[in-house]
Amino acid sequence: MTTQTAIQKPSNRAAQYLALTKPRVTQLAVFCAVIGMFMATDGLPDWRVVVAATVGIWLLAGAAFAVNCLFEAEIDARMARTARRATAMGELSKVQTITFSAIIGAAGMWVLYVLVNPLTMWLTLVTFVGYAVIYTLILKPATPQNIVIGGLSGAMPPALGWAAIANDVPMQAWLLVLIIFVWTPPHFWALAMYRRDDYARSGLPMLPVTHGMNFTGFHVWLYSIVLAATTMLPYAVRMSGLIYLAAAVALNAVFLWHGWQVYRHYSDLRARKAFTWSIIYLSLLFGALLLDHYVRF
């Protein structure tokens, strides 16, 4: 029994540290960054830069999420969704969390600066500060529009990926950032709606708690319309072709349907489905953009 416990502890601790990086969220962010890398060149990008940039962005994103878990440990402890995080349960101390974040963050900065380029490192570092400090400490507890105002940091991955390959961030990269920026509010508010009791306990001024469910549902629907229009911009500026256009129209039709259901026929199940679809939607939309980039007609 003692031997088994001794064997399990390191594994459990490693899992706790990994959980601090919010792997699922990080995966989606890194995926969008990789799309930016491939969109930045007409041919195939240098695989060595792609690997280095992916690792560096992943490490710095994980460091930002670890800091977020540290700053919000007391809030997480009041929410059923996050109460089992190691920082919320006190199983990882502040020193351990800060040390972990500093190590992987510094490693990410080194990888980006030395193996990619300084521009990508600085942009990723600014994104780290924007999320871990400005959004988490200042915006999130101050206003129910926190996810809108602070959404830019979460929308940056395509620009980071583009910068990694091109050492530049042109208008096309910012269009991808804009898409994620507009996608974030309906994505997050759908979650906040079916987790409203959790957020009420947290003390954070989330929109369903401060302004009610109908008001939030209307904003989900409103941003869904704005998102549908925004995703037409790559085609409008001839950044993409018919493959992307057809995919965007089809994906937006489903997204708008979910937004309307959340607004006019709300149930927790519908909100949960809308949240799940929003993740699938973004992955398929960016995947279609990449496919169109290489197989355009």
Instruction: Specify the pLDDT at position 203.
Output: 85
CB–CB of 28/153 below 8 Å?
no
Residues 6+ positions from 66 with CB-CB distance below 8 Å? 20, 21, 97, 100, 101, 104
Instruction: Specify the pLDDT at position 136.
Output: 85
Instruction: Specify the pLDDT at position 15.
Output: 87
CA distances from 24 to 42, 65, 163, 279 (A): 30, 11, 23, 10
Written as tens digits, the pLDDT of the chain (297 aa) is 333 333 334 458 888 888 889 998 999 999 999 999 999 999 999 999 999 999 999 999 999 999 999 888 888 888 888 888 888 888 888 899 999 999 999 999 999 999 999 999 999 999 999 988 888 888 888 888 888 887 888 899 999 999 999 999 999 999 999 999 999 999 999 999 999 998 888 888 999 999 999 999 999 999 999 999 999 999 999 999 999 999 999 999 999 999 999 999 999 999 999 999 999 999 999 999 999 999 965
CB–CB of 276/220 below 8 Å?
no
How many C-alpha atoms does 236 have within 13 Å on its Cβ side?
8
What would the CATH number be for the domain defined by 10-169?
Answer: 1.10.357.140
* Domain extents in the chain: 10-169, 170-297
Q: What is the pLDDT of residues 33-43, one digit of tens each?
A: 999 999 999 99
For residue 179, give the nearest of 220, 218, 227, 132 by alpha carbon: 227
Instruction: Specify the pLDDT at position 297.
Output: 52
Instruction: Specify the pLDDT at position 232.
Output: 97
